[in-house]
Chain A
Amino acid sequence: MTDIIQKVKNLSIGFRSKKGEEILILKNITTNIKKGETVGIVGESGSGKSTLALAMMGYVKHGLYTIGGECQFNSSNLLKMKSKDLEKIRGRKIAMIPQNAGQALTPNLKIGYQIDEALQLHSDLDEREREKKISELLNKVRLPSPETIALRYPHELSGGQQQRVAVAMALAGTPDLLLLDEPTTGLDVTTQAHVLELLNFIAKDTGTSMVYVSHDLGAIAQVSDRIIVMYSGEIVLEGPSRDILKKPIHPYTHGLLKSIPKLSLAGLPESMPGSQPQPGTIQGGCSFFDRCNFSDDNCKNNSPKLEFLKDLNTSVRCFNYEKLVNENEVSQTVNKIKNKSLDKEILNLSEVSISYAKQKLLDQIFNRISDENPTVKDINIDIKKGETIALVGESGSGKSTILKSIAGLLRTKDGLIRFDEKRNLSSDLKGRDPNDLRIIQLIFQNPDESLNPNHTVEEIIAQPLKLYFGLKGEELKKNIIDLLQKVRLGEFYTSRYPRQLSGGEKQRVAVARAFAAKPDIILCDEVTSALDVSVQAAVLNLLQQLKEDFGTTYIFVSHDLAVVRAISDRVAVLYQGRLCEVGPSNDVYKFPSHPYTEVLLGAVLEPDPDIKPKLVAEDIVEERPPEKGCSFQGRCSRIVGDICKKEIPPWQLTDSGNAIRCHIPIKELQKQQF
């Protein structure tokens, strides 16, 4: 067969543990990449997907080694090739687009040079032609004014621009195969949608084969013709994209798709138990056995082989796939959230402004903040007891900043934060008494950094109990175990250190610590962003369960709009530190009225090949909010004239109770959108 571009045969890659055991990262992988097709490799962290992609370039990371098998490109094995010969293939025949372009561009070299380097190595063009080609490439990836971009250093570009430069660099060698390692992870939703659209365009335009590696089924769904699902170093499912996403016949993929929150569905999805096993801990039997709903004794003792089903054109590694073949499309059962949100106000922000500007000496002396155009401005929200309100927006929208100020970690410039209808909280941490601190607790994005690595789980949870309630001895112990059980962790976790826990378990400990203070309000800052998809739903369900038990109020910040949809009662949309729209989640998601909400929701990627993102506005990055007028004027596609540039738009109320800030009358807006 000539249309196969890369042939991976029985590939095993692993490392040697300290005890001298051979531990496999990739187990006996066999697959082919055909000319012109885009293959998505999907899996959670630790599934071996990146190792596989790198092996396809003949690259094995320091510390790992090839145990067996080969990666064939043009019928020669890349893994046994001399580095001289590899240099001629890398960048010319097979090129890589890295996950984090900000880290992957050499900081001391200009953009132009880095692309030129690839051209020098992989083409015969002379200097003049190369210069032209650089402009062409930068144009192709839709970067504005290529000539000036080429003279910049990587750090002078935004994340989306850096990613585009990485794409341009990969295209410089006109490769036959492009490997993309999580190319859009870490970008804002709108930027991500634009980059994916660009990649789709390039695939069609150049006919390049692509291997797209990601944990994000939403992104994979948009680009791939075929999907390979990996689980602890093995291929568990491989087949045409649509079939995999619509009718997955492997229990892991099935469960995964069920546990991903969708924009169209309110309420929390079903969660999958447990987490992916660490490499080297599987004792035999199927690697997914522990978490599987369809398993039997056979799965426990024997490991299934990857079986090719001719009529479905799919390979599956499961004894019981037949149980799934006859099932209909993945039907998502959601647990509707039922919050007893009272009419009583618990927290009120009025006219809050926050500034990051460096203060002048005089202001420092008088302990005041002066900034004409602060990062966050005019925030008015009242939060009811027992509700979950979500703050959404792209990076730089000020959502985390507002959380910090509520917690007292960042001084506000103006405005009041009032608790429980009567007490104004000091904007300075020093001005808050212990009870003020107790009532508001934070859960952070990354439990690796928010849990002290030198404390055991017991010590971590004991801290708030000792600090706020002065508990000691037996009573303290009883409370700790109680809390651990509440977050579904057993008593034996008390003596563990954070490093001995999985990501999901760590975040549960962080949740337990927050609840230990018996707070009224918990601030959740991207609490599921660092977790694997299959673990995310379980943590969200836990959070929901706990708030129903305790009547806690959540202020939830997330960049993942589907997660926000699943858990929140109300949504506040922020752009450049200014509120655009506030309203009940159901209404905001069903009828996004504000032009920015429309852009934001349109860009969300769903794990469904039939739902394409709508790209309404350009993904320009604005450094700071505009001095005058509407905060969204720079990117708005519905601008009505000078008024948008000069006057701050008024609040308008829709029939369903959304408040939006726009100069266009609501009726008019809704007419334009539907």
Chain B
Amino acid sequence: MLFLIIKRILLGFVTLFIVSIITFVGTEVLPGDACTTYLERQAFGEQLEACYRRLGLNVPAYERYVSWALNAIQGDFGYSLSGEMPIKDVLGPRIKNSLVLASAAIFIGIPIALILGIITALWRDKLPDVAISTVTIFAMTIPEFISATLLILIIAIWLEWLPGIVIVPTDVSFLELLPNIILPVVAIAMIMTAHMARMVRSSVIQVMASEYVQMAILKGVPYWKMVFKHVLPNALLPAINVVALTIAWLLGGVVVTEVVFNYPGLGRLVIESISNRDLPTVQALAIILASIYVSINLLADLLTLMLNPRLKTLQIRK
């Protein structure tokens, strides 16, 4: 078991290493570099040389990669181009903001998704299922930029209950941020909840049709006890991985929603730094997003392993 965990963690690092090389090479082969972008038309002669020296671009690529990677491991991603401030200072509040948005969506969305999924499965083809399924399928099919825009139109413009876009400084305190995030959270949670509820529904239905559930009924196990003891643990196990992917997707910044609401999170930073050709920041973001995906998937796998007796003993035996 321990061996397995260590193996998975090492594999995670290998993945990150490969991602870092790909992003580094990617930014390297693109025409132009940070200095030409920054200096624009003055990008020649003495000034360009000075810029290269200042950013350390005058040494060979592999040396730059090594020093960049060594620094990145310690959390130092160098300087962003546009603001000339350390990237970690740029990233910090953005990560915090994305975390706030994601955790709000998770804490609201996942329980609702589970409950809706279970209800629809247990009352399959009856009124609760038909009603909820219609709504969830509808919510799944509307793209977020439409639902987000409609939310702004109805709640913010017509009813004037909440601010429509977020116009607060990036490093604002949590309480001040709260009213601003309600609409984005609703927009994200809608689509995420719908997807997950559908997944949970089909998983529960599948388990309900299994022979062991039939056996539990024939054993005389009362309905709700059967649901909680025999159905849900087996039905929700495969859901863990989907939940993990959703969380990673949320933390990675929900680009569209953040842009529509002008929300200062990681997603918008990605868009901004790409359009500003702020390559050091793009590199840093790529690594951070990859780390988020790798670590959350790792957690999900380990959790599944711990909860599924079948996998657990299998691993121990080998």
Is the pair B218, A96 in contact by a Cβ cutoff of 8 Å?
A: yes
- A residues 444-481 with Cβ under 8 Å of B? none
Closest to B317 in A: A156
Listed stretches B7-15, B69-77, B113-121, B305-313; interface member:
B305-313
Please, which residues of chain B bring their CB within 8 A of the CB of A92?
220
Instruction: Pick the residue among A62, A104, A153, A156 that contacts B212 (CB under 8 A).
Output: A104
Listed stretches A30-38, A105-113, A261-269, A432-440; interface member:
A105-113
Is the pair A104, B230 in contact by a Cβ cutoff of 8 Å?
A: no
Which residue of B210, B215, B217 has the most chain A CB atoms within 10 A of its CB atom?
Answer: B215
Is the pair B309, A90 in contact by a Cβ cutoff of 8 Å?
A: no
- B115 CB to closest chain A CB (Å) equals 21
Please, which residues of chain B bring their CB within 8 A of the CB of A62?
209
- B residues 269-307 with Cβ under 8 Å of A? 307
Please, which residues of chain B bring their CB within 8 A of the CB of A59?
214, 217-218
Instruction: Pick the residue among B218, B219, B234 that contacts A107 (CB under 8 A).
Output: B234
Listed stretches B18-26, B177-185, B221-229; interface member:
B221-229
Instruction: Pick the residue among A88, A100, A103 that contacts B220 (CB under 8 A).
Output: A88
Is the pair B310, A103 in contact by a Cβ cutoff of 8 Å?
A: no
- B residues 190-235 with Cβ under 8 Å of A? 209-223, 229-230, 233-234
- A531 CB to closest chain B CB (Å) equals 23
- B309 CB to closest chain A CB (Å) equals 4
Is the pair A109, B219 in contact by a Cβ cutoff of 8 Å?
A: no
Is residue A57 within 8 Å, beta carbon to beta carbon, of the partner chain? yes
- A36 CB to closest chain B CB (Å) equals 22
Main secondary structure of the interface of B (DSSP, over half): helix
Interface string of A109-144 (1 = CB under 8 A from B): 100000001100110000000000000000000000
- CA–CA, A204 to B51, complex, Å? 96
- B residues 129-186 with Cβ under 8 Å of A? none
Is the pair A108, B215 in contact by a Cβ cutoff of 8 Å?
A: no
- CA–CA, A238 to B228, complex, Å? 43
Is the pair A90, B217 in contact by a Cβ cutoff of 8 Å?
A: yes
Please, which residues of chain A bring their CB within 8 A of the CB of B229?
106, 109, 117
Is the pair B234, A103 in contact by a Cβ cutoff of 8 Å?
A: no
Is the pair A106, B310 in contact by a Cβ cutoff of 8 Å?
A: no
Closest to A62 in B: B209
Closest to A153 in B: B309
- CA–CA, A173 to B233, complex, Å? 25
Is the pair A108, B234 in contact by a Cβ cutoff of 8 Å?
A: yes
Is the pair A156, B313 in contact by a Cβ cutoff of 8 Å?
A: yes
Is the pair A90, B212 in contact by a Cβ cutoff of 8 Å?
A: no
Is residue A98 within 8 Å, beta carbon to beta carbon, of the partner chain? yes
Please, which residues of chain B bring their CB within 8 A of the CB of A88?
220
Please, which residues of chain A bring their CB within 8 A of the CB of B230?
106, 109
Is residue A331 within 8 Å, beta carbon to beta carbon, of the partner chain? no
Is residue A89 within 8 Å, beta carbon to beta carbon, of the partner chain? yes
- A residues 403-448 with Cβ under 8 Å of B? none
- A residues 64-94 with Cβ under 8 Å of B? 83, 86-92
- CA–CA, A117 to B215, complex, Å? 12
Please, which residues of chain B bring their CB within 8 A of the CB of A104?
211-212, 214-215
Is the pair A91, B220 in contact by a Cβ cutoff of 8 Å?
A: yes
- CA–CA, A92 to B221, complex, Å? 11
Is residue A539 within 8 Å, beta carbon to beta carbon, of the partner chain? no
Please, which residues of chain B bring their CB within 8 A of the CB of A237?
none
- A351 CB to closest chain B CB (Å) equals 29
Is residue A169 within 8 Å, beta carbon to beta carbon, of the partner chain? yes
Is the pair B313, A153 in contact by a Cβ cutoff of 8 Å?
A: yes
Closest to A173 in B: B220
Is residue A95 within 8 Å, beta carbon to beta carbon, of the partner chain? yes
**Chain A interface extent, by class:** 20 to 34
Which residue of A96, A105, A107, A156 has the most chain B CB atoms within 10 A of its CB atom?
Answer: A107
- CA–CA, A87 to B223, complex, Å? 9
**Chain B interface extent, by class:** 20 to 34
Which residue of B209, B210, B220, B222 has the most chain A CB atoms within 10 A of its CB atom?
Answer: B220
Interface string of B217-258 (1 = CB under 8 A from A): 111111100000110011001000000000000000000000
Closest to A179 in B: B218
- CA–CA, A138 to B278, complex, Å? 70
Please, which residues of chain A bring their CB within 8 A of the CB of B212?
103-107
Is residue A155 within 8 Å, beta carbon to beta carbon, of the partner chain? yes
Which residue of A57, A100, A103, A117 has the most chain B CB atoms within 10 A of its CB atom?
Answer: A117
Is the pair A87, B222 in contact by a Cβ cutoff of 8 Å?
A: yes
Please, which residues of chain B bring their CB within 8 A of the CB of A89?
220
- CA–CA, A593 to B149, complex, Å? 84
Is the pair A96, B234 in contact by a Cβ cutoff of 8 Å?
A: no
Please, which residues of chain B bring their CB within 8 A of the CB of A155?
309-310, 313
Which residue of A95, A104, A106 has the most chain B CB atoms within 10 A of its CB atom?
Answer: A106
Is the pair A95, B219 in contact by a Cβ cutoff of 8 Å?
A: yes
Please, which residues of chain A bring their CB within 8 A of the CB of B234?
106-108
Do A98 and B309 contact each other (CB < 8 Å), given the known contacts A87-B222, A91-B220?
A: no
Is the pair B220, A83 in contact by a Cβ cutoff of 8 Å?
A: no
- B130 CB to closest chain A CB (Å) equals 17
- B266 CB to closest chain A CB (Å) equals 37
Please, which residues of chain A bring their CB within 8 A of the CB of B223?
83
Closest to B210 in A: A103
Is the pair A117, B211 in contact by a Cβ cutoff of 8 Å?
A: no
- CA–CA, A117 to B309, complex, Å? 19
- CA–CA, A59 to B211, complex, Å? 13
Is the pair A87, B309 in contact by a Cβ cutoff of 8 Å?
A: no
- CA–CA, A117 to B229, complex, Å? 10
- A176 CB to closest chain B CB (Å) equals 14
Closest to B211 in A: A103
Is the pair B218, A90 in contact by a Cβ cutoff of 8 Å?
A: yes
Instruction: Pick the residue among B217, B233, B313 that contacts A108 (CB under 8 A).
Output: B233
Please, which residues of chain B bring their CB within 8 A of the CB of A121?
219-222
- A179 CB to closest chain B CB (Å) equals 8
Please, which residues of chain A bring their CB within 8 A of the CB of B213?
106
Closest to A152 in B: B313
Closest to B312 in A: A153
- CA–CA, A105 to B216, complex, Å? 9
Is the pair B310, A87 in contact by a Cβ cutoff of 8 Å?
A: no
- CA–CA, A108 to B312, complex, Å? 11
- B221 CB to closest chain A CB (Å) equals 7
Please, which residues of chain B bring their CB within 8 A of the CB of A91?
218-221
Please, which residues of chain A bring their CB within 8 A of the CB of B210?
103
- CA–CA, A108 to B220, complex, Å? 19
Do A117 and B218 contact each other (CB < 8 Å), given the known contacts A103-B212, A109-B229?
A: no
Please, which residues of chain A bring their CB within 8 A of the CB of B211?
98, 100, 103-104
- CA–CA, A155 to B237, complex, Å? 17
- A371 CB to closest chain B CB (Å) equals 15
Is the pair B220, A122 in contact by a Cβ cutoff of 8 Å?
A: yes
- B311 CB to closest chain A CB (Å) equals 10
- A175 CB to closest chain B CB (Å) equals 10
Please, which residues of chain B bring their CB within 8 A of the CB of A118?
219-220
- A residues 147-182 with Cβ under 8 Å of B? 153, 155-156, 169, 173
Closest to B310 in A: A155
- CA–CA, A153 to B219, complex, Å? 18
Please, which residues of chain A bring their CB within 8 A of the CB of B220?
86-92, 118, 121-122, 173
- A200 CB to closest chain B CB (Å) equals 23
Is the pair A87, B221 in contact by a Cβ cutoff of 8 Å?
A: yes
Is the pair B219, A106 in contact by a Cβ cutoff of 8 Å?
A: no
- Given A54-B218, A108-B233, 9 further pairs, Cβ under 8 A: A98-B214, A98-B218, A103-B212, A104-B212, A106-B215, A107-B212, A108-B234, A117-B221, A155-B310
Q: Which residues of B contact A (CB under 8 A)?
A: 209-223, 229-230, 233-234, 237, 307-310, 313
Q: 9 tightest CB-CB pairs across the interface, nearest first?
A: A91-B220, A90-B220, A103-B211, A104-B215, A91-B219, A153-B309, A96-B218, A106-B212, A104-B211
Please name 17 pairs of A and B residues whose Cβ atoms are closer than 8 Å in the assembled complex, sorted by A.
A54-B218, A83-B223, A90-B220, A91-B219, A91-B221, A96-B218, A98-B214, A100-B211, A103-B210, A104-B214, A106-B212, A108-B307, A117-B219, A121-B219, A121-B221, A153-B309, A155-B309
Q: Which residues of A contact B (CB under 8 A)?
A: 54, 57, 59, 62, 83, 86-92, 95-96, 98, 100, 103-109, 117-118, 121-122, 153, 155-156, 169, 173
